[in-house]
Amino acid sequence: MAKVFAIANQKGGVGKTTTCINLAASLVATRRRVLLIDLDPQGNATMGSGVDKHNLEHSVLDVLTGQCDLIEAMQFSEHGGYQLLPSNRDVTAAEVEMLEMDKRESRLRQALAPIRENYDYVLIDCPPSLSMLTINGLVASDGVIIPMQCEYFALEGLTDLIGSIQRIGQSLNPGLKIEGLLRTMFDPRINLANDVAGQLKAHFGDTLYETVIPRNVRLAEAPSHGMPALAYDKSSTGANAYLALAGELVRRQRKAAKAIA
């Protein structure tokens, strides 16, 4: 049964999409079955997976509005090795359509239910907002992975995000937890980055991933080729950081499963 993780932060440009694509490909490299869901009308995860967002027969819009099954809308990312539920700007219409629908917050959760057992991990790339789309992502998930840059304002936004996650947890998805906080685009030469990293560790303890994603130009270049860094330049520090993250995530899962057993 798949573990479902939303990659979310209402702050823009913190590395959500980069994390989705590269973590998905890294989990595939460790022989996990992965589905990536692009919930962002920007369609960045779609393009970065090598699927043309301008030419979609079906998208996550059709799934959320009940016009097709998830399986019908899925496409395979050739370089990533995972399945993708694509998105494009039309998906903004889903937000409006869903407002009139029954159980509008759990449309994605319902759509995922019949296929969860076909995957080990489902990763959901959320848009930079706390919109109905993001709420659908959070309601469908077991946990939230929060990518963040180690800068001063990042901490401020984090409080809002954690508050929202807790509210959704209480009202719509009691199982929802914060799976992990991920430091992205890290540059150890910047003092503030080290200070913020230290504060995060003090405040969040083990929730903070030990793996740190460095700023690496290969991670920025790869999506324009429709590839994860692992396919674009597998020796890059970016590709290796995401492989390490996949390893850490899988170890955490194993530990959590043992604790329950």
Q: Which residues bind ligand ATP (CB under 6 A)?
A: 12-18, 40, 42, 44, 128, 184-185, 213, 215-216, 219-220, 223, 238
- Round to whole Å and give the CA distance between 115 and 15: 27
Of residues 115 and 128, the one with the C-beta less far from ligand ATP: 128
Q: In whole angstroms, how close is the CB of 12 to Mg ion at the nearest point?
A: 8
The only residue of 5, 8, 11, 17 in contact with Mg ion, by rule CB under 5 A: 17
Instruction: Report the residue number whose CB is nearest to Mg ion.
Output: 17
Residue 115 or 244: the one with the smaller Cβ distance to ligand ATP is 244
Work out which of 26, 44, 83, 236 binds Mg ion, going by CB under 5 A: 44
Residue 60 has which token pair? 């996550």
Residue number with CB closer to ligand ATP (119 or 242): 242
Nearer CB in complex with ligand ATP: 72/160: 160
The partner in contact with residue 215, picked from Mg ion, ligand ATP, none with C-beta cut-offs of 5 to 8 angstroms by kind, is: ligand ATP
> Contacts with Mg ion in 167-226 (CB under 5 A)?
none
**Which of 141, 134, 194 lies closest to 3, judged by CA?**
141
Q: Which is nearer to ligand ATP, 110 or 237 (CB)?
A: 237
Q: Residue 51 and residue 80: Cα distance in Å, rounded?
A: 11
Interface with Mg ion, residue 16, by CB under 5 A: yes
Q: How far apart are the C-alpha atoms of 234 and 155, rounded to whole Å?
A: 32
Q: Which residues of 30-65 are buried (b: 16+ CB within 10 A; e: fewer)?
A: eebebbbbbbbbbbbbbbbbbbebeebebbbbbbbb
Give the contacts of 156 (CB within 8 A, at least 6 positions apart): none
How far, in whole angstroms, is CA 89 from its chain's centroid? 18
Report the nearest approach of Mg ion to the CB of residue 55 (Å): 20
Cβ distance 223 to 58 under 8 Å? no
Partner whose footprint covers residue 247, from ligand ATP, Mg ion, none (CB < 5 to 8 Å by kind): none
Task: Tell me which residues touch Mg ion (CB under 5 A).
Answer: 16-17, 44
